[in-house]
Amino acid sequence: MSQTSSEFIPAKIAILTVSDRRSEAEDTSGQYLQDAAQEAGHQVVARAIVKDNIYQIRAQVSAWIASETVQAVLINGGTGFTAGDHTPEALLPLFDREVEGFGELFRMVSFEEIGTATIQSRALAGIANQTVIFAMPGSTRACRTAWERIIEEQLDARHRPCNFLPHMKK
């Protein structure tokens, strides 16, 4: 597959909410990501909520990385600086490659919305076993910023000059 395509190719996406407090009924961020992905034409093949625990996060994401169907994972929550935020520590050992530009770009576009508070975001992304993983803050607003300003284009085979589709499982 070339870097770009003339037609849309739906990705198979899993969505993980990292939270000690949210239930499915209260998971507005996970619901936003599901709705946005489906509206864009992608398939949401799995969705889960786990406690902000390194090993629970790692176990769920590892299962999706090992899956033959999940091509992308969208994670919300656990990327801040409080003592209970563990998403980066859970994910970094799993990555074959880190996508440093995602965190940098997320903080840049987030600065337009929340100013210098963006410095406390530890948003990150990486690739593991041909699965692209994006981790963003847990607020619905932050998820919207990440999806609309970065992720949506990077999961679209038509986006030029490049996107993540050639790097993902077939």
What pLDDT digit, counting tens, does each position of 84-96 carry?
Answer: 999 999 999 999 9
Confidence of residue 6 (pLDDT cuts 50, 70, 90): confident
Residue 23: the pLDDT is 86
pTM for this prediction: 0.95
Q: In which element (H, E) is residue 44 found?
A: strand 43-50
Please determine, for residue 19, whether its predicted confidence score (pLDDT) is greater than 80: yes
Distance, in Å, from the CA atom of 25 to the CA atom of 120, rounded to the nearest integer, reads 27
Query: 77: alpha, beta or left, given left = phi > 0 and alpha = psi -120 to 50?
Result: left
Neighbouring C-alpha atoms within 13 Å toward the C-beta of 70: 25
Spell out the domains of the chain, with CATH numbers in brackets: 12-167 (3.40.980.10)
Which residue is associated with the tokens 């981790």? Answer: 135
What is the percentage of the chain residues whose pLDDT exceeds 90?
91
Residue 4: the pLDDT is 62
Q: What is the pLDDT of residues 108-164, one digit of tens each?
A: 999 999 999 999 999 999 999 999 999 999 999 999 999 999 999 999 999 999 999
Distance, in Å, from the CA atom of 17 to the CA atom of 48, rounded to the nearest integer, reads 6
- Burial of 15 from C-beta contacts in 10 A (0-12 / 13-18 / 19+): buried
Distance, in Å, from the CA atom of 14 to the CA atom of 17, rounded to the nearest integer, reads 10
Residue 31: the pLDDT is 97
**What does the DSSP assignment read for 131-143?**
EEEEEE-SSHHHH
Q: What is the pLDDT of residues 40-76, one digit of tens each?
A: 999 999 999 999 999 999 999 999 999 999 999 999 9
Q: Who's near 81: CB < 8 A, 6+ residues apart?
A: 120, 122
The torsion defined by the Cα of 19, 25, 30 and 36, in degrees rounded to 10, comes to -170
Distance, in Å, from the CA atom of 155 to the CA atom of 138, rounded to the nearest integer, reads 20
